[in-house]
Chain A
Amino acid sequence: MLGAVLLGFLFSLFLVFAGSYFRGKLAVLSSLIPLSLFVYFLTFIPEISSGEVIYESYEWIPSFGVNLSFTLDGLALLFALMITGVGSLVFLYTSAYLKDHKYLDRFYGYLSLFMAAMLGLVLSDNLMSLFIFWELTSISSFYLIGFNNDKADSRKSALVALGITGIGGLLLLGGAVLLGDVVGTYRISEMLSMRDAITDSSNYLLILLLIFGAAFTKSAQFPFHFWLPGAMKAPTPVSTYLHSATMVKAGVYLLFRMTPVLNGGDIWHTVLIVVGAITMIYSAVHIIFRTDLKGILAYSTISALGILVFLIGIGTQAALIAAAVFIVVHALYKASLFLITGIIDHETGTRDVTQLAGLRKVLLPVAIAGFIAALISGGVPPTLGFVGKDLIYESTLHFKNNAVLLTIIAISTNVLLFYAGFVAGVKPFMGKLPKKFEKLHLPSPLMWVPPLIMTIAGLVFGLFPSLIETTFAKPIAMTQAIAFEDFHLKLWHGFNTILGLSAITLVLGVVLYFTLKPSHALENKIAKLDFIAPEVLLLKLSEGFAVFSKYWTNFFQTGYLRHYISIVVAFLILLLGYLIFSDFSLETDFSTLADLTIYEISILLMLLMGVLYTVFTKSRLAAVAALGVVGLSFSLLFLFYSAPDLAMTQFSVDTLTVILFVLVLYKLPKYLNFSNKWLRMKHGVLSVSFGVLITLLILRVLKEPKNTEISEFYAENAYKLAHGKNVVNVILVDFRGIDTMIEISVLIVAALGVFGLLKLRLKTRDKK
């Protein structure tokens, strides 16, 4: 399985080097990649349908528990087949849709990158690798949405999508880490047996929120749904592949996968049902107000995703099966409708449904595919859509709470989805063909065969639902449902309530289709409400954040050295002050301290005066001289306290510094008084409090016993090992000899710098 996941990555890498060969006629060959993967995954069907689960694991970062573990069960197989199956058709379609496009190879690169990431996502058994693949899908989707990167709105949509799904990725990471913390493993298959520990843990609610956040952003649930219609700026194959069939279902997949792990009662059910229901009805209503074919399909996709979340929220075995079947149904009809829209757009140059009519006369096979897709979407028997819709009603009707309300919501959504399917799949082909479209001709079969294949598959699965039942539905129910009961998918259930509901849905859908005509007037009406749309609100929020961060940055990043230092010092004062005052006593044992003698006091007074004079004098030369006094006092101090080497060094260095200062600086102008009194006061307070803190810190440290282990080692071994009697010297030139050598090279660099600066002649500027 690792190879299957890697194949897409390798292929996109290969395209980097060999891309130019894949721009022309060879482009169609790239569909061999998803096709071979599709066949590969088909071979697993017998094992999976017999109830087996296949594991594979490769060590990656075992110390963190992050491994490339893959698992193939019913759910993973369903998604894998969908990804590779729809992928193959989309790859084929693209070769004709973007024929001779300048960057066709690039497009295939992104597509196969995405496909590989998506496969990795659904096969991952490790939450961490799942997260990484999750992010990879977001990133590759960013490139695909922004593929027409010369258009501003395309770039903007790509950014919005990346922003929203990126936030979701972060939430997922948070959830994964917390979850891993609770159970001590990142392997999902190991979490299955620890459901009680998870639901009882104090972090359960937080984990749930994070995982929900991730799933809702990825699967475009209200109020994060708006990135999806925006993402329709992408070329149609992308909309087909990412934004209807696969990527947006990643969130649904996550919820599905987590059902046996996290499903712990009312919160799970309530949140998912409420969010799913709001999303499905909200976006279904939006469909009425759209005239752009892709807009209609985008909103009906969001609505379908809402249904899936809703079904997972219901969480009974029937609902989970309904969700699994509906995933297939939706992938089949929505991908076909998108491809058909792409053909219409490609041939007529418009996607405005009010202008399209009568296209069946010129695009007959496309019209057939559109008609079947509309039937599947509307849930008309004998298509798979009908089976799917029945299962949905069955699960809402048998839910323990509010069954009637849920059923009504499901029916209304389905009616609107019926409408959407017919507007997108049938309406452009009916009626009188406008004159301007009469010269159209059928495009390459590469474009119209894929939707036809998918719709026919929808018909076949509808007639023989057992195909779905044994391959996916049963294995999924066995692994994901809490308690498994045997069941059979059937097209015909006999006369019962559910059939009645289905009939009502169909009748209402037909009525709606014939009474309601999409128009620009309706579209304009809804546009007036845009100011309260989540999209606008969230965009305003992000603008506000940008303004805030600008102020924030300008506050801290002023470009003045003293501001930076003030901030650093002030922060240190706060931190040190807190630490010292939370644990401080001024008791000092005076007996351990050294005695005071008169010459020490006089040196210290000299030092103090030197320091103060340096600070307060108005003359630069005087300041430098006072600094010299400070330095010499220091060397006397070192002399008294048993550090002759330091005294000598300090003496020579300070003398040199003063000489250098005087030599160089006597030419400079007098001090200018730049600062006002208020600023001096402020800086004075800041620095004095810092000094006080340092003093307190030293007093505190002096109370602690000293560790003399290292000093003792040197005292013991200076002569024995290094044959030197001055221990300080021995440390510097022997024990730490290499340090000293590096220090000398630092000095050489400084000396070179000094030399360079002295000799530097800025010729251009001198001429000015």
Chain B
Amino acid sequence: MEIILAIITGVLYASGIYMILRRSMVKLILGIILLGNGVNLLIFLLGRITKGQPPIIDSTEKALEGIYADPIPQALILTAIVISFGLQAFAIILVKRAYKVLKTDDLDQLNTTDEDS
């Protein structure tokens, strides 16, 4: 299973980078989201995967014991998901705004600060 997940992570990275390299701003955002998912999966995998043992302490116990999923990668990923949501929302609105003002979705036309170009 880990091997397949590793391959999936690679696919996510590859498609994320590929999308970022496009000229369309929407694709840039899609690429960033895909890459972000890839990173989350990478962190998740590096914490090792465990089936059916969430890091929740049993109601009768006082500490986690036996086999349990590593809580630290989960905490990290949770933070990452929320932060990337903030980034995505901002980027989406920014693209919309930029399109409204500049009437283009092409990144190559945005590499100057001159107003008339």
Contact = CB atoms under 8 A, between A and B. Distances in A.
B50 to A, nearest CB: 5
A694 B10 contact: yes
Interface string B7-48: 111111111111111111011101001100110111011111
B33 A627 contact: yes
Given A614-B30, A728-B75, A743-B79, A715 B63 contact: yes
Interface stretch (A73-81, A247-255, A277-285, A653-661): A653-661
B21 A562 contact: yes
Interface in A643-664: 643-646, 649-650, 653, 656-657, 660-661, 664
A687 B21 contact: yes
Interface in A230-244: none
Contacts of A569: 17
Contacts of A596: 1, 4
Q: Among the interface residues B10, B23, B90, B106, which one has the most CB atoms of the partner chain A within 10 A?
A: B10
Given A627-B33, A698-B6, A711-B71, A665 B106 contact: no
Nearest to B15: A615
A570 to B, nearest CB: 11
Interface string B36-71: 011011101111111111111111011111001111
Interface size on B, as a range, is 35 or more
Interface residues of A, number: 99
B46 to A, nearest CB: 6
A736 interface: yes
B81 A661 contact: no
A762 B101 contact: yes
B117 to A, nearest CB: 12
Contacts of B10: 691-695, 698
Contacts of B86: 746-747, 750-751
Main secondary structure of the interface of A (DSSP, over half): helix
Interface string A562-597: 100110010000000000000000001000011110
Interface stretch (A211-219, A325-333, A538-546, A753-761): A753-761
Contacts of B1: 593-596, 600
B79 to A, nearest CB: 6
Given A720-B62, A726-B56, A758-B93, A593 B72 contact: no
A675 interface: yes
27 contacts: A562-B20, A562-B107, A594-B51, A615-B19, A627-B33, A634-B40, A644-B56, A656-B89, A660-B92, A669-B105, A684-B18, A691-B12, A691-B14, A691-B15, A692-B10, A694-B9, A694-B38, A698-B10, A699-B6, A725-B58, A726-B57, A728-B71, A731-B71, A732-B79, A746-B83, A754-B90, A758-B93
Interface of A: 559-562, 565-566, 569, 588, 593-596, 600-601, 604, 607-608, 611-612, 614-615, 620, 623-624, 627, 630-631, 634, 638, 640-646, 649-650, 653, 656-657, 660-661, 664-665, 667-669, 671-672, 674-675, 683-684, 686-688, 690-695, 698-699, 701-702, 706, 708, 710-711, 714-720, 725-728, 731-732, 736, 739-740, 743, 746-747, 750-751, 753-754, 757-758, 760, 762, 765
